[in-house]
Structure 1
Amino acid sequence: MQYKDFLIRNWQRSDREAAFNLIGSVLAEYDLKQEPEGANRDVLEVEEFYQKKNGEFWVIERNHQLVGTGAYYPISRGQNAVEIRKMYLLPEARGVGLGKVLLNQLEDVIAKKGFEQIWIETASVLKEAVQLYERAGYQPSTGVETLRCDRVYVKYLV
């Protein structure tokens, strides 16, 4: 999918290191730590965490360089639910509506697959992400499962 001069496409094996490093870079901006054995293990094992579980992992390119990621996979929390994960944009990809477009595209695909709930965990320090989710109709919930996160949201599709 194209948005302005950004290409949103499916992850490929050759994206593994660049996607992992991109996420680490964004986390470092906010004084959050990359967790290769914990919360970021899924980026190193996309095949196991996403592809084998009926999920998807996307990357965003501009001029053949990765500038963002977004993903989801089914989870046992909730009913017929998925969790949106790894929504990260480098600074040069922010402020142009790309986050909203990415979230909308993820939601559309998730809804078309018949899921009923979308869950998102985030950290309060990621103020732009918190605003994006709240403006998109995500409701605060409880049950944070990721150590570096302190917020959890849910959106009901049905």
Structure 2
Amino acid sequence: MRKIYQDYLIRDWQESDRTAAARVIEQVLQEYGLPWQPREADLDVIEVESAYLNVGGQFWVVEHHGKIVGTAAYYPIKRGNKGVEIRKMYLIPEVRGQGLGKYLLQELETVIAAQGYQEIWIETASLLKEAVQLYETNGYQRTTGVETQRCDRVYFKILSI
């Protein structure tokens, strides 16, 4: 996958992105006072191959002038009906507020729907106010069943077939 949004390159993750992608996620979590958990909730960004690529998911990075400034990913889950979970959708502060998050979410939805999935699930934390607003204004419904310790909200969306 390779897309351009304004002057951002959104592309598939490569092995050489591991450290930079992890740093983006760690930076954003720390900004909001949430713990970076490389052996628990964030193990998937350390082990992208087994957590995403080998199970039918995808992991994308967002580049700006050669620097990784964001991430977005999804993988199939057993929850729901033909469901996937969007994970690791993070943007560093300097690139927020330009519609990039909305664009990433729409691109994820398009790719997910094209692969025949019917539901998208997202877990997040109330502290991530921009993320909560993004999901709520794009048709995601709040539900119950948080599975990730640092999260306190779960959303889902049924894709139109």
- Note the C-alpha offset of 1:79: 1.0
User: What is the identity, as a one-letter code, of the residue corresponding to 1:79?
Assistant: N
Aligned equivalents of 1:79, 1:70: Cα separation in 2 = 22
Aligned residues: 158
User: How high is the TM-score relative to the length of structure 2?
Assistant: 0.97
Structure 2's unaligned 5+ residue stretches are none
Q: 1:11 aligns with which of 10, 13, 20?
A: 13
Q: 2:136 aligns with which of 128, 134, 143?
A: 134
Output one character per residue of 1:103-128: Cα deviation in whole Å (capped at 9) or x when no partner: 00000000000000000000000000
- SS of 1:96's partner is coil
1:99 matched to 2:101? The reply is yes
Output one character per residue of 1:36-76: Cα deviation in whole Å (capped at 9) or x when no partner: 11110000000001001100000000000000000000001
User: How high is the TM-score relative to the length of structure 1?
Assistant: 0.99
User: What is the identity, as a one-letter code, of the residue corresponding to 1:13?
Assistant: E
Structure 1's unaligned 5+ residue stretches are none
Runs of 4 or more, structure 1, over 3 Å off, are: none
Identify the residue that residue 76 of structure 1 maps to in structure 2: 78
Q: 2:49 aligns with which of 26, 47, 64?
A: 47
What does 1:104-115 align with in structure 2 at a 5 Å threshold? 104-115=106-117
- SS of 1:35's partner is coil
User: What is the identity, as a one-letter code, of the residue corresponding to 1:100?
Assistant: K
Aligned equivalents of 1:21, 1:68: Cα separation in 2 = 10
Q: 1:31 aligns with which of 27, 30, 33?
A: 33
User: What is the identity, as a one-letter code, of the residue corresponding to 2:68?
Assistant: L
Percent identity between matched residues is 61
Root mean square deviation of aligned Cα = 0.5
Identify the residue that residue 64 of structure 1 maps to in structure 2: 66
